[in-house]
Amino acid sequence: MRLFGNPGGGNSSQQVQKMIQEGAAIIDVRTPAEFAGGHVAGSKNIPLNLISNHVDEIQEMDKPVVLCCASGGRSGQATAYLRQHGIECENGGGWTAVNALVKP
């Protein structure tokens, strides 16, 4: 079920990696149970169905955002929604792909 329309554009792992290196926030839009099963270190869990309640909080981060989930579908929906609210963000895809881009 798509809550926010079509996923927001494609992503480039190079662009996502650059954003992460420059200090982007990482938001995981999976459920809390999925997040508890493994996630990118330092990422914030805001489930997709709650993302609209956190727009102000995300804007106040005052930095670009990389979104991730299990496969990239939900994070694509969140990316499209946040872009409509003027937030600079990219769909990082699955959390394991984003995790591989994060340097320990």
- Point out the residues that are catalytic: 69
Yes or no: say if 29 and 49 are a contact pair by the CB < 8 Å rule: no
Q: Are 28 and 102 within 8 A, CB to CB? A: no
